[in-house]
Amino acid sequence: MMKTILKEQITDKCAWIGQEIADKTDWIYHLSPHMLTVLNSALKKLKEKNLVAPHFVKTDALIEDEKFLEQIEYISNELENGYGFIVIRGLDAEKYNETQLANIYYLFGLHMGNAVTQNARGDLLGYVENVGDKTQKMTRVYETNAYLPYHADLSDIVGLLSIRKAKQGGLSSIVSSSTVYNRILEHYPEYLGYFYHPAWYDHLGEVEPSLSPIFSYYDGKLACRYLRHYIELGHDRRKVPLSQVQTDALNIFDSISHDPRLRLDMMLEPGDIQFCNNYCVMHSRSSFEDYEEVEKRRKLLRLWLQMPNARQLAKDFPGRNGIPKGLGEAA
């Protein structure tokens, strides 16, 4: 009989504790001079063809350099079998303009996996900017300077490239969902079943809310999908109120996720790229104060990737690589 509920602590590298790895450097990847030379060569090909991200495909500037591809494989393996996240440094934001940074970033991602759509418009590259009206209910949080709660996106991997940082604040914050799981198992084992039981998610891009558990254990790996707002909205739309014990379970999940000892905060400097595995890392962002001038405001480019080395998912934990065009909106 296949084990459905994991009852042992996760001891893999993905079950990291923020305060224990904050001073480590093994989650930071520095682009070597060779990697930059290869990327610069690819950038020239795109310029010759007058192509700008995301309006090109991998073969438009195919990189066949063995050393480069070995490093792509290393990064992809770290995301699936290591910490579940990586920060790539070495792109000089003073040397490259915004278009060049976007082209390098997007091409890099295409050599890792397939870019998938992030909203109903079919966007393959998302712009994370403080341009939204917070008084409007439909304004997405990432379009404002407000605090963004911990969540996982609807793809195997989410990437962020920093173009400009805010005047003050705007820290990127991540937490291991495996570590959250370990704490639930240790302190609240009686609630464990509720996290495996399907909840109604108002998955954006779907006409009606659909079922998915928060945790799923399959083929030796734990996967997590957590978007509390979507769960509450899904139950509301289905007219299936959350029970008190379900609400308690969500509160437990949130309280553990927000433990300052567990999370890892970082400032993404211009040119930095962060990739996170949505099945084992949740991400958040602190509120921030921005510049008055629009051209100086905080700006990041978001990329959602479907990965060839992604973990196998159980049937009752359906994969969510992208948002179907024309049906809904991204968070």
> DSSP letter string over 148-194?
EEEE--SSSEEEEEEEE--SEE--EEEEEHHHHHHHHHHH-GGGHHH
Rounded to whole angstroms, how far apart are CA atoms 161 and 283?
A: 14
> Region 113-122: what's the mean pLDDT?
92
Most confident of 35-49, 162-176, 306-320: 35-49
pLDDT at 127: 87
Residue 203 pLDDT level (bands cut at 50, 70, 90): confident
Residue 8 predicted with pLDDT over 50 = yes
> Region 5-24: what's the mean pLDDT?
97
Domain residues of the chain, as ranges? 18-306
Residue 295 pLDDT level (bands cut at 50, 70, 90): low
- Would you tell me the crossing angle of helices 228-237 and 244-257 to the nearest 10 degrees? 160
> Region 25-44: what's the mean pLDDT?
98
pLDDT at 292: 64
Residue 199 pLDDT level (bands cut at 50, 70, 90): very high
pLDDT top residue among 286 and 95: 95
Residue 76 predicted with pLDDT over 50 = yes
Closest C-alpha among 1, 216, 35, 169 to residue 108: 35
pLDDT at 134: 42
3-class secondary structure, 130: coil
Q: Per-residue pLDDT tens for 125-150?
A: 988 765 444 444 333 444 445 556 79
pLDDT at 168: 58
Fold of 18-306: Double-stranded beta-helix (3.60.130)
What's the mean per-residue pLDDT of the chain? 89
How many C-beta atoms surround the C-beta of residue 238 within 10 A? 14
pTM listed for this prediction: 0.90
> Region 34-55: what's the mean pLDDT?
98
Residue 288 pLDDT level (bands cut at 50, 70, 90): low
Tokens of 282: 């949740």
